[in-house]
Amino acid sequence: MEPVPVKIVCNGTAYQLQVEPRTLLADLLRSDLGSKGTHIGCEHGVCGACTVLVDGEPMRSCLMLAVQADGRTIQTVESLELPDGSLNELQESFHEHHGLQCGYCTSGILMSLTALFNEDKAPSESRIRDYIQGHICRCTGYQQMIEACVELSGLRSKELS
Amino acid sequence: MFTECSEQLFGSSEHSHISCGVLGESVKPAAFEYRNSRDEDEVFDLLTKYGSEAKVLAGGQSLIPLMNFRLVKPSLVVDINGVSSLRGVKVSSSTLRLGALTRHVELETRPDVAQAAPLLSAVAPYIGHPQIRTRGTLGGSLSHADPSAELPAAMVALDATILVKGASEERRVQAEEFFKFHLTADLAVDELVVGVEIPVFGPNQGFGFREVSARFGDFATVGALAVLSVGPDGTVERSRVVCMAVGPKPIRIGSAESVLNGKQISPAILGEVAEAVAEALDPIADLKASASYKRRTAATLARRAVEEAWEMTAGRVS
Ligand SMILES: Cc1cc2nc3c(=O)[nH]c(=O)nc-3n(C[C@H](O)[C@H](O)[C@H](O)COP(=O)(O)OP(=O)(O)OC[C@H]3O[C@@H](n4cnc5c(N)ncnc54)[C@H](O)[C@@H]3O)c2cc1C
Ligand code: FES
Ligand code: FES
């Protein structure tokens, strides 16, 4: 099929691409833009491993065609590190609390939580659970992730007050 | 496929040359042509020309999984996300009008929706997960017509009118008539759902919604909704009792409504509602639950939904 021109900004870099319509955003990110941090699990929207931010909103990149990302800004897990290459506060908190084991689910979960923490500086535990609920983790049992987020939220609400 | 980096957008100073991956290794859907439509007329032209070969793409949260598994292999995908006439939320004194492209997250968070149709704000958080609700649309959910989906059942409970449009004709279809069968709505291949109209929720009304699912966010195993309108003395004037995930479409339980209409709610009446629901339904077992579990659970959930609706009106009336 005729490739379609697509302009996207991914993790701060602008791209002009020719994309075959059936290419999924997840596959474009992984195969063509080198963002291997975006993982693919189920390919039908259930597991959440492929979650990225599209114009700041968390979406399943396995359920979006790459051509639909035309004109949009994408953030993947690679965008989270600080300019000096160290972990950001959410990643740091996951590290501290053992919020991951194999790491397969982690990039998607971090992106969902990034959207939450961007929208709500100090989200409640129930909102944190609501966002993690959209992901499947086969290792951790989720509790450590929730603890990581609750602590970060607590630190932030102290800063705010 | 050729890829090339541009520095024009956002003035990025980083220059990276991207070499492309082998596309054939990572594709899932069968090949199709893609049209990003900007207006309804173009959509109708394409749908008329391509017929059942074409598929409309809204939020993609049901269609793309089917395409990834190649259960659906359209030769043309018509993306309607850019059609501005399908967007928008309008409230008049009597009617809430929602465009087909209203996203689930809007139903969940918009104060005007919460005011005019609070049942929709109540059911929206049960649709999948936040990451699904940012994309999924009202029109997509109604057209997909899944009998265990929340929005089709809510449309029947709210006595909504589905606005359907084709190249030559516009139709208004009562929600109850719109859903035909499992994944089948009263919609021709060259027609679109353009929006819905819902009577604005009144001060003499109450609603209840109950759902059981294996995990929060999953499609319902069983669900029930109730909407009551009561008179000044607390007598039920009109009622709707609807069950979901117990048949090929959302099912309105007329016999339970007959029990309620003209009566004041009491524990005995609630018991009769549950009995009427259990008698009316003839669910078939699915992977999630047996037929008898579905029947008994629907009866209990319907009783609770009616009770919840009634308690809401008791707080408002008198
Ligand atoms: C993990 C996961 C969990 C989910 N859980 C739930 C849940 O608990 N409850 C629930 O209700 N849903 C659930 N969904 C489905 C979700 O609600 C979808 O958003 C919805 O069913 C379809 O809407 P869409 O906009 O994504 O439509 P699409 O996927 O784009 O389209 C669906 C179908 O409708 C057609 N269509 C779309 N828009 C129109 C239109 N305006 N006119 C005519 N035809 C149209 C398409 O051609 C296609 O056949 C879930 C989805 C996922 C991936
Ligand atoms: S790979 Fe996208 S949700 Fe599982
Ligand atoms: S850490 Fe292994 S799947 Fe979550």
pTM listed for this prediction: 0.94
Q: Is B4 inside a domain boundary? A: no
- Lowest-pLDDT range, A100-109, B22-31, B110-119? B22-31
Distance, in Å, from the CA atom of A70 to the CA atom of B114, rounded to the nearest integer, reads 32
Q: Which of B181, B199, B217 is the last residue of a domain?
A: B199
Q: Supply the pLDDT for residue B23.
A: 42
Q: What is the pLDDT confidence band of residue A110, given thresholds at 50, 70 and 90?
A: very high
| Residue A134 within any structural domain of the chain | yes
Q: Are residues A25 and A51 in the same domain?
A: yes
Q: Are residues A11 and A72 in the same domain?
A: yes
Q: For an interface test with A, which of B131, B135, B216 has the most A Cβ atoms less than 10 Å from its Cβ?
A: B131
Pocket test for ligand 2, best of A25, A27, A42 (most atoms within 8 A of CB): A42
CATH number at residue A28: 3.10.20.30
Question: Is the pLDDT reported for residue A89 higher than 50?
Answer: yes
For residue B150, what pLDDT is reported?
Answer: 98
Q: Residue B57 gets which letter from DSSP?
A: E
At B26, is the pLDDT very low, low, confident or very high (cuts 50, 70, 90)?
Answer: low
A45 close to ligand 2 (CB < 6 Angstrom): yes
B307 and B239 housed in the same domain: yes
Are residue B249 and residue B305 in the same domain, yes or no? yes
- Ligand 2 centroid from CA A45, angstroms: 4
Contacts of B274 (CB under 8 A, 6+ apart): B299, B300, B302, B303
SS3 A15: strand
Distances (CA, A) of A56 to A29, A36, A108, B2, B299: 16, 20, 14, 27, 42
Residue with tokens 């009634």: B310
Q: Which DSSP category does A28 fall into?
A: I
Which of B29, B63, B79 corresponds to the end of one domain?
Answer: B79
DSSP H or E segment with residue B151: helix B150-157
Contact criterion met (CB < 8 Å) for B61 and A60? yes
With a cut of 70, say whether residue B318 has pLDDT above it: no
Q: What's the mean pLDDT in A52-79?
A: 98
Q: Is B318 on the interface with A (CB under 8 A)?
A: no
Which residue range forms the structural domain that includes residue B63?
15-79
Classify residue A84: in a domain, yes or no.
no
Q: Is residue B1 part of a domain?
A: no
Same-domain status, A113 and A48: no
Domain stops at, among A79, A104, A125: A79
From chain B residues 121-180, the ones with a CB under 8 A of any chain A CB are: 125, 128-132, 134-135
- Percent of chain A at pLDDT > 70 equals 100
CATH number of the domain where residue A133 is located: 1.10.150.120
In a domain, A156, yes or no: yes
Average pLDDT, chain B: 92
Distance A128 CA to ligand 3 centre (A): 17
ipTM: 0.96
A31 occurs within a structural domain: yes
Find out whether A6 and A32 touch, Cβ atoms under 8 Å.
no
How far is B53 from B190, CA to CA, in rounded Å? 11
User: Are residues A71 and A21 located together in one domain of the fold?
Assistant: yes
Distance between CA atoms of residues A51 and B300, nearest Å: 37
A78 in reach of chain B (CB within 8 A):
no
Average pLDDT, chain A: 97
User: So what's the pLDDT on residue B27?
Assistant: 67
Q: Which domain-ending residue is among B158, B174, B199?
A: B199
**Domain stop point among A79, A103, A120:** A79
Residues forming beta bridges with residue B304, ordered by sequence position: none
Q: What is the CATH number of the domain that holds B35?
A: 3.30.43.10
- Specify the pairing of strand A73-75 against strand A4-10: parallel
- For residue B12, pLDDT over 80 is answered with no
Full residue range of the structural domain in which residue A12 is found: 4-79
The Å distance, Cα B71 to ligand 2 centre, comes to 17
Residues of chain B with C-beta less than 8 angstroms from the C-beta of A70: 36
- Percent above pLDDT 90 for chain A: 97
**Position B9 in a domain:** no
Instruction: Identify whether residues B189 and B217 lie together within a single domain.
Output: no
Q: Quick one: B237 and B193 in the same domain?
A: no
**Domain count within chain B:** 3
Q: Are B63 and B54 in contact (CB under 8 A)?
A: no
Give the domain-ending residue among A79, A109, A127. A79
Cα Dmax for chain B: 74
Segment A34-39 shows an average pLDDT of 95
Cα torsion through B261, B262, B266, B267, rounded to 10: -40
CA distance A61 to A35: 12
The pLDDT score that the predictor gives to residue B22 is 39
Confidence band for B215, pLDDT divided at 50, 70 and 90? confident
| Residue B255: CB atoms within 10 Å | 14
- Residue A135, H or E segment: none
Domain-located, residue A16: yes
Predicted confidence band at B315 (pLDDT cuts at 50, 70, 90)?
confident
**Quick one: B151 and B252 in the same domain?**
no
Report if residue A118 sits inside a domain: yes
Q: Which amino acid is at A104?
A: Y
SS3 category, B300: helix
Q: What is the mean pLDDT of residues B8-30?
A: 49
Which of A52-61, B208-217, B271-280 is the least confident region? B208-217
Query: How confident is residue B20, by pLDDT bands cut at 50, 70 and 90?
Result: very low
A13 with A46, same domain? yes
In ligand 2, the atom with minimum distance to the C-alpha of A136 is: 4
Predicted confidence (pLDDT) at residue B100 exceeds the cutoff of 80: yes
